[in-house]
Copies of this chain bind each other. A is one copy, B any other.
Amino acid sequence: MMKLTRSLLLSRNLSSEKLLVGKVDDVQEALCLHSFLSRADMSTTGAGENPVPRIFAPYSIYKGKAAICVDPILPTFTKMDSGHFRVDRKGCILLTFGPAIGERKYDWGKKQVFALSATEVGSLISMSPTDTSEFFHDPSMKSSNAGQVRKNLSIKAVPDANGYFISLNVVNNLTKTTDRFVVPVTTAEFAVMKTACSYALPHIMGWHRLTNPQLGDSAKKSSKIDPQLLDLEWDK
């Protein structure tokens, strides 16, 4: 069993999110996509800018008690005085969990997120059919709220080696709440996650920029990509 702790993630403020989302119906049909879209609509309206268009294509797994969406988030780059670029904010694979509230209905207003770092993705894609991985995040680490919110993601092989249970536990001492999501994932669905995350890994590390010099121009732009969207999830 691998245990990794990541400390640079600040959780989004759930209550302020509800405020922002406003009249958007929290209870939706099976559209994990919704939670992303409302956020994106928000950020453009609110900022009054014209950010680079984002493309939403999460891989979603809907099960009886909860759903999970898998979505790569690219790193951002900063141009230095020398004219060169360096990674500013690291990319991640964002896992979004939503609880089921009926047949094919999920309450994305009660979602919780977990952002896998490059190394955590390395752990996921190297799992054998009998492995277990566990990751701990303290989204408030290095702030005065350190230790108040604890997130625990576990990926456990099903005993008969026919898939995995992906579970997220969020214990919030500030709001005195505990959220728990369990999504059973088939071998086929996990193969999609592994293959897609292996594809995404060099990209969330920023290596696609290294190996495609002609992307230099877009590096500048990408640093403008919808900062609000990222700030909601963590703050390096």
Contacts and interface: CB of A to CB of B under 8 A. Distances in A.
Q: How large is the interface on A (under 10, 10 to 19, 20 to 34, 35 or more residues)?
A: 35 or more
Interface string A17-59: 0000000000000000100010011001100001111111101
Contacts of A196: 201-202, 205, 207
Q: How many copies does the complex hold?
A: 4
Interface of A is mostly: helix
A126 B119 CA distance: 19
B123 A53 contact: no
Contact of A40 (B56, B82, B201, B210): B82
B214 A56 contact: no
Interface in A168-226: 186-192, 195-196, 198-203, 205-219, 221-222, 225
Contacts of A59: 118, 205, 207
A212 B202 contact: no
